[in-house]
């Protein structure tokens, strides 16, 4: 292996032929591997099976969790999530199994009714816009796209979104109604917002009085190292500036217990809580409180959650290491053809390949039996202007599979880059 960027045409042609031969060997294996979505593996979900043994449905207050009531969630579930978020129980709303659905519902409320501070419902803002730090989570972007918002990209940095750009945009344009954020172990880069970024979000001036920060703490306790990274709590910071009504924080136990049958939560100001409860009460009488209670009895408190996450970590770290080792051994010697993130938590690694190659890499992988998230999907409208980014999700496959998939992925990256460099030389 040598630096591809220093190779002449003949050397590149020979390298490409060698890679094609290796690629064919992988194709002949008839692989069926998937590193597309951030799903826990079966062993991780097995860790939570005792949750189903929790079959006592009398709450701490003596009420019956099987019945209707307590729309905001069981008190003990609000206490648990308050502990995880770092806020007060009165500021927590506990929902059903999906935080994404809560986010959708809140955008929907803004769209149909607006919020108490809204001059009009968002649907009546003809050029409504939403800020999307990129790369980001495709399902966030899909929600605001579906409601007709223009998706405005803001570049991510290792400290969070570029705040100079965010502050300027939101100060000038009242049609910008909100921003999607994954502040801890972001999807897909695995970056954690710095204290300064959080402070700037808390105090920034917005032209829209009803600007909302959708602060998705999907990975708040999903540490991959011994370091338990904790950041300032946006809701609490915002109160210092009287901006607490702009914040909606979200989390869920999808990647703590079961993605299909966990519990989700919102944290917001008490005044926002009153407003959303009024709207939600028309939609639903109460969520699945039996599941809420099972989760509280199983996880107990934040300490219990962290102890449970340490068990996940033991399985996940080798999978993340396998990907990074393969990249280091197989890509670094080829020169500056790719770089990648080194997350301290969360579910993803971002791989940035030479611009113009990501789609080709994903296509090559697919034809050899490895499914990746579509190239470009971490960008609004699925358009990565550089065609460079790939989101790698090493959590679902077994360690053996991750190792094979990573090797194949490296061959595909090198082949796509060799093809591109040869094509560039032909121009």
218 binds ligand PMP (CB under 6 A): yes
| Residue 271 token pair | 């005044």
If you search the block for the tokens 């080194």, which residue do you land on? 342
| Residue 4 token pair | 């591809």
Q: Which is closer to ligand PMP, CB of 212 or CB of 414? A: 212
Q: Which is closer to ligand PMP, CB of 76 or CB of 216? A: 216
100, 152, 221, 412: which one contacts ligand PMP (CB under 6 A)?
100
Indicate the residue whose CB is closest to ligand PMP: 252
Q: Which is closer to ligand PMP, CB of 15 or CB of 217? A: 217
Give me the least distance between CB of 106 and ligand PMP, in Å please: 13
159 binds ligand PMP (CB under 6 A): no
259, 345, 374, 380: which one contacts ligand PMP (CB under 6 A)?
259
Q: Which is closer to ligand PMP, CB of 59 or CB of 377? A: 377
393 binds ligand PMP (CB under 6 A): no
- Backbone phi and psi for residue 6, each to the nearest 5 degrees, phi listed first: -100, 0
Give me the least distance between CB of 55 and ligand PMP, in Å please: 24
Q: Which is closer to ligand PMP, CB of 192 or CB of 264? A: 264
Residues 115-134, interacting with ligand PMP (CB under 6 A): none
DSSP-derived pairing of the beta strands 150-157 and 160-161: antiparallel
The interface region with ligand PMP, picked from 252-260, 316-324, 361-369, 379-387 by CB under 6 A, is 252-260
- Site for ligand PMP (CB under 6 A): how many residues? 13
Site string for ligand PMP, 6-45 (x = CB under 6 A): --------------------------------x-------
Say how far apart CA 419 and CA 399 lie, in whole Å: 30
Residues 61-80, interacting with ligand PMP (CB under 6 A): none
Say how far apart CA 404 and CA 323 lie, in whole Å: 10
264 binds ligand PMP (CB under 6 A): yes
Q: Which is closer to ligand PMP, CB of 265 or CB of 421? A: 265
59, 99, 373, 388: which one contacts ligand PMP (CB under 6 A)?
99
* CA–CA distances in Å: residue 184 to residues 132, 194, 232, 362, 379: 16, 9, 11, 27, 19
List residues binding ligand PMP (CB under 6 A).
Answer: 38, 98-100, 137, 182, 187, 216, 218, 252, 254, 259, 264
């Amino acid at each position: 292996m040598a630096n591809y960027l220093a190779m002449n045409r003949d050397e590149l042609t020979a390298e490409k032929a060698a890679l094609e031969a290796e690629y064919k060997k992988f194709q002949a294996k008839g692989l069926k591997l998937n590193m597309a979505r951030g799903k826990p593996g079966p062993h991780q979900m097995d860790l939570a099976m005792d949750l189903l043994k929790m079959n006592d449905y009398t709450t701490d207050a003596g009420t019956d969790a099987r019945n209707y009531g307590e729309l905001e969630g069981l008190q003990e579930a609000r206490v648990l999530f308050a502990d995880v978020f770092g806020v007060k129980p009165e500021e927590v709303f506990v929902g059903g199994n999906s935080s994404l659905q809560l986010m959708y519902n809140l955008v929907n409320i803004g769209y149909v009714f607006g919020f108490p501070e809204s001059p009009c419902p968002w649907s009546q803002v003809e050029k409504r816009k939403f800020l999307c730090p990129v790369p980001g989570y495709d399902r966030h972007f899909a929600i605001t796209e579906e409601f007709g918002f223009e998706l405005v990209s803001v570049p991510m940095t290792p400290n969070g979104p570029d705040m100079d750009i965010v502050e300027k945009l939101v100060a000038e344009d009242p049609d910008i109604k909100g921003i999607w954020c994954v502040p801890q172990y972001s999807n897909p880069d695995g970056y954690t917002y710095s204290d300064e970024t959080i402070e700037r979000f808390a105090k920034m001036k917005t032209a829209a009085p009803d600007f909302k920060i959708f602060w998705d703490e999907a990975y708040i306790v999903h540490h991959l190292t011994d370091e338990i990274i904790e950041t300032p709590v946006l809701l609490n910071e915002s109160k210092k500036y009287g901006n607490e009504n702009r914040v909606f924080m979200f989390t869920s136990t999808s990647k703590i217990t079961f993605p299909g049958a966990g519990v989700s939560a919102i944290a917001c100001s008490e005044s926002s809580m009153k407003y959303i409860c009024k709207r939600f009460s028309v939609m639903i009488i109460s969520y699945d409180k039996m599941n809420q209670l099972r989760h509280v009895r199983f996880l107990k408190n934040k300490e219990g959650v962290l102890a449970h996450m340490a068990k996940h970590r033991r399985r996940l770290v080798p999978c993340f290491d396998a990907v990074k080792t393969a990249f280091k051994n197989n890509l670094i010697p080829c020169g500056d053809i790719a770089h990648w993130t080194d997350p301290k938590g969360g579910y993803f690694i971002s791989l940035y390949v030479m611009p113009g190659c990501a789609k080709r890499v994903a296509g090559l992988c697919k034809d050899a039996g490895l499914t990746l998230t579509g190239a470009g999907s971490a960008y609004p409208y699925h358009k990565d202007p550089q065609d460079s980014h790939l989101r790698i999700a090493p959590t679902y496959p077994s360690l053996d599979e991750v190792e094979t998939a990573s090797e194949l992925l490296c061959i595909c990256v090198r082949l796509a880059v060799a093809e591109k460099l040869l094509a560039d030389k032909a121009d």
